[in-house]
Amino acid sequence: MNHSSVAPESVPARQIKGVSAPKEQELHAFGIYTALDLMNYFPFRYEDYRLRSLAEAKDGEKITIQGILRGLPMVARFGKGKTRLTAKAEADGQLITAVWFNRMFIKDQLQLGREITLTGKWDARRMQITVTDSEFPDKGTAKTGTLQPVYSVGGTITQAWMRKTIRQALEQYGPLLEENLPERLLRKYRLMPRSEAVYHIHHPEDPKDGQGARRRLVYEELFLFQLKLQAYRMLNRRKADGIVHRVDPEVIRQFAASLPFELTDAQKKVVNEILADMRQPFAMNRLLQGDVGAGKTVVAAIALLAAVKAGHQGALMVPTEILAEQHMRSLTRLYEGTGLQTALLTGSVSDKKRRDLLAGLQMGLVDVLIGTHALIQDDVAFRSLGLVVTDEQHRFGVNQRSVLRRKGPSPDVLTMTATPIPRTLAITAFGDMDVSTIKERPKGRIPIQTYWVKHGMMDRVYGFIRREIDAGRQAYVICPLIEESEKLDVQNAIDQFVQLQQAFPDLKVGLLHGRMTASEKDEVMAAFAAADVQVLVATTVVEVGVDVPNATLMIVMDAERFGLSQLHQLRGRVGRGAHASYCVLVADPKTETGKERMAVMQETDDGFEVARRDLELRGPGDFFGTKQSGMPDFKLADMAADFAVLEAAREDAAELAAEDGFWTAEAYAPLRAILAKDPIFQGSQLD
Ligand code: ADP
Ligand code: MG
């Protein structure tokens, strides 16, 4: 058969020598279907069979040495049919003892004067090697002198079989692997050609060679990933099918002047970035990140105003009904005197109201629609949707976002997140977006003091509550989510609520949890916002976005049950006004990381620093807390260790995707073909 025209990805694994039908079935469990998959099944470590000299072998080490048999084998039997075979051998001019356990079959091959290579654990005191592997040079040596790949195997697939099969695939199809990286990038980083790298990652000649192979493949993996994001971003720009918002700067200036505070420089900067995008013919796809309390809502309000004043409508989508209600209240207040019409759409709006609202939306009577996921349902139609703002939606990955964009004509999209994201993660999870960051908080904010106390100190915590309330402030008491049971979780909050009522009979204590109806929740929140309720006992339903500037005390019960970013979010509910604020973490952590988390919270109230430490403690996979995070599973790359490569790959990808030639030149057709296979480009013409 002539292979030269066959692409390895279209060759079923069955065609590789030694792969039977049942074995092929088993390979599927490893995600291996084709010759290419076999070659791309990389080892996770190597076994070292390189020859060593005895002089440098350390006691207890696994070594491979060359020797000549100098004594006839002797057999000792012990236990149930167990054997111990010993033979003297000469290695590096020394006489040593080789020991085999339960390897009687080798006895007849151990002839005097025969050369042998021995691999095993070295006992320096006894001058003895316990042999796990041996080869006879007169019969050929396959392993001796090499690094042998170690694959993840299982079922009836053994390490030896996998090695043989992958090697076979490499020999037959390895040379057909085509280069997929641009020549200039190969040169820039002195990367191995692809076919060479794939071969050498399985069979490195030495560790340096293996590292070179890995370096090339890690770069390839990160580059292709970043190229997908950057190409997606550029494709969107090139399509230029967005709305050009003609924004009158004077209108924006007037609105800003009407605010009860002056915008911070950071807010002004991001407003300008957003408005600049909105004026462009492509659909904006921008991430607005800023620490809790940085003042993102007013930025969103300005962008929405700009869309409306340019003759379109806006939508603000938030994850919870509580937040939707709150934004409804604050935007309505902010828009007083502008003539803008706001409306609220959540799952608990009655059918009749919903019908009226949808009609008004279609006629353009509603300018800004605020709501939960109910906003993106099929029957919600705008007269002219110009801007979608999503708040606290960091759990959306690029795939979900691309679905949202494909709904109808292309509105501008602004995604806000209050979880500061370490750059590594940001350029991975949000690499398709442009990013605006609010670094500074409004002036006059006093840093939040954080204390960690044991459960035994609740009396003092109660004293603290009393002090703040007497000073006219308000407090939150947060009860943790008990994952196994929402019912327990609610019970926990109810118990806490009863205790606080007993401890403070003269105060109004409120209760808020996930089992309450939307209108019950709204009622409690409104009462808390109006300071009719002084102490609010809540589950994590208040985690994101809730804004009651008069609240200055955040008490988190069983704080060890929360992740760092979550604690930071909770803490961000206070310190939102001019008063000094406090966060008290009540915790008796049993683990070291639990203690470490409490320490980090005490040390810093900078969200970016908290995020960095969180990433350190948890690792990237868990950082967002959900599988939906949009974080890719890299095969080889390690986001922490290969960070510098990730940065470089991102720049290279951005540069390439910005070139016209990338979209038209024949030379890039293979790269475009790789991208076209990705679901986010589904329906897009890449050539
Ligand atoms: P977040 O970024 O966490 O969403 P918010 O938008 O809720 O923050 O703002 C937090 C608080 O700060 C709100 O009460 C808001 O009115 C106030 N705020 C926003 N911008 C400023 C500013 N420039 N100066 C003073 N207070 C501000
Ligand atoms: Mg917010």
Nearest residue (by CA) to ligand 1, atom 23, is 263
Domain boundary, last residue among 438, 461, 492: 438
Are 487 and 577 part of one and the same domain?
Answer: yes
What CATH number does the domain containing 77 carry? 2.40.50.140
CA pair distance 178, 672, nearest whole angstrom: 14
Are 363 and 295 part of one and the same domain?
Answer: yes
CA of 546 to the centre of ligand 1 (A): 11
DSSP letter at 264?
P
CA pair distance 253, 316, nearest whole angstrom: 22
Domain of 667 in residue numbering reads as: 184-238+645-687
Nearest residue (by CA) to ligand 1, atom 19, is 295
Position 630 in a domain = no
Are 392 and 480 part of one and the same domain?
Answer: no
pLDDT one-digit tens code per residue, 435-446: 899 988 888 888
Task: Look at residue 632 and tell me whether its pLDDT is greater than 80.
Answer: no
Position 160 in a domain = no
Q: What is the pLDDT of residue 208?
A: 92
Residues 6+ apart with CB under 8 A from 342: 328, 331, 332, 335, 366, 367, 368, 369, 370
pLDDT one-digit tens code per residue, 539-552: 876 666 678 999 99
Are 462 and 342 part of one and the same domain?
Answer: no
CA pair distance 35, 443, nearest whole angstrom: 61
pLDDT one-digit tens code per residue, 221-279: 999 999 999 998 898 888 888 899 999 999 999 999 999 999 999 999 999 999 999 99
CA of 622 to the centre of ligand 2 (A): 23
Position 575 in a domain = yes
Taking the CA of 292 as reference, the closest ligand is 1
Taking the CA of 548 as reference, the closest ligand is 1
Q: Which atom of ligand 1 is nearest to the CA of 263?
A: 23
CA pair distance 533, 600, nearest whole angstrom: 31
Are 391 and 259 part of one and the same domain?
Answer: yes
CA of 545 to the centre of ligand 2 (A): 4
pLDDT one-digit tens code per residue, 167-220: 999 999 999 999 999 999 999 999 999 999 999 999 999 889 999 999 999 999
Q: Which atom of ligand 1 is nearest to the CA of 438?
A: 2
Task: Look at residue 516 and tell me whether its pLDDT is greater than 70.
Answer: yes
Domain boundary, last residue among 145, 172, 199: 145
Are 482 and 598 part of one and the same domain?
Answer: yes
Position 34 in a domain = no
Query: What phi and psi, each to the nearest 5 degrees, are found at residue 506?
Result: -85, -5
Are 282 and 314 part of one and the same domain?
Answer: yes
Instruction: Tell which one of 391, 576, 579 to mutate to probe ligand 1, the residue whose CB is within 8 A of the most ligand atoms.
Output: 576
Provide the terminal-to-terminal Cα distance of the chain, rounded to the nearest Å: 34
Paired residues of 68 in beta bridges:
90, 115
Taking the CA of 290 as reference, the closest ligand is 1
CB 205 within 8 A of CB 46: no
Taking the CA of 320 as reference, the closest ligand is 2
Q: Which atom of ligand 1 is nearest to the CA of 549?
A: 14
Are 225 and 254 part of one and the same domain?
Answer: no
The 10 Å CB-count burial string (b at 16+, else e) for 268-301 is: ebbbebbbebbbeebbbbbbbbbbbbbbbbbbbb
Nearest residue (by CA) to ligand 1, atom 26, is 442
Q: Which residues have any ligand 1 atom within 6 Å of their CB?
A: 261-264, 267, 290, 292-298, 418, 442, 547, 549, 576
CB 181 within 8 A of CB 222: no
pLDDT one-digit tens code per residue, 84-134: 999 999 999 999 999 999 999 999 999 999 999 999 999 999 999 999 999
Taking the CA of 288 as reference, the closest ligand is 1
Nearest residue (by CA) to ligand 1, atom 16, is 295
Query: What phi and psi, each to the nearest 5 degrees, are found at residue 584?
Result: -115, 120
Tokens for 148? 């042998």
Are 420 and 506 part of one and the same domain?
Answer: no
Are 579 and 670 part of one and the same domain?
Answer: no
Nearest residue (by CA) to ligand 1, atom 5, is 295
Neighbour tally for 678: CB within 10 Å: 17
Residues 6+ apart with CB under 8 A from 622: none
Environment class of residue 452 by beta-carbon count within 10 Å: exposed (0-12), middle (13-18) or buried (19+)?
A: buried
Q: Which atom of ligand 1 is nearest to the CA of 444?
A: 25
Are 607 and 515 part of one and the same domain?
Answer: yes
Q: What is the pLDDT of residue 626?
A: 41
DSSP letter at 588?
-
Domain boundary, last residue among 398, 416, 438: 438
pLDDT one-digit tens code per residue, 452-510: 999 999 999 999 999 999 999 999 999 886 555 666 667 788 888 999 999 999 999 99
CA pair distance 312, 368, nearest whole angstrom: 9
- Percent of all residues in the chain with a pLDDT value above 70, rounded to a whole number: 92
Position 506 in a domain = yes
DSSP letter at 57?
P
Instruction: Tell which one of 297, 322, 608 to mutate to probe ligand 1, the residue whose CB is within 8 A of the most ligand atoms.
Output: 297
Position 179 in a domain = no
CA of 617 to the centre of ligand 2 (A): 26
CB 412 within 8 A of CB 387: yes
Query: Structurally, how many domains does the chain consist of?
Result: 4
Residues 6+ apart with CB under 8 A from 110: 69, 72, 73, 85, 87, 116
Environment class of residue 178 by beta-carbon count within 10 Å: exposed (0-12), middle (13-18) or buried (19+)?
A: exposed
Q: Which atom of ligand 1 is nearest to the CA of 292?
A: 3
Position 594 in a domain = yes
Are 481 and 512 part of one and the same domain?
Answer: yes
CA of 495 to the centre of ligand 1 (A): 33
Position 16 in a domain = no
Average pLDDT over every residue of 27-40: 95
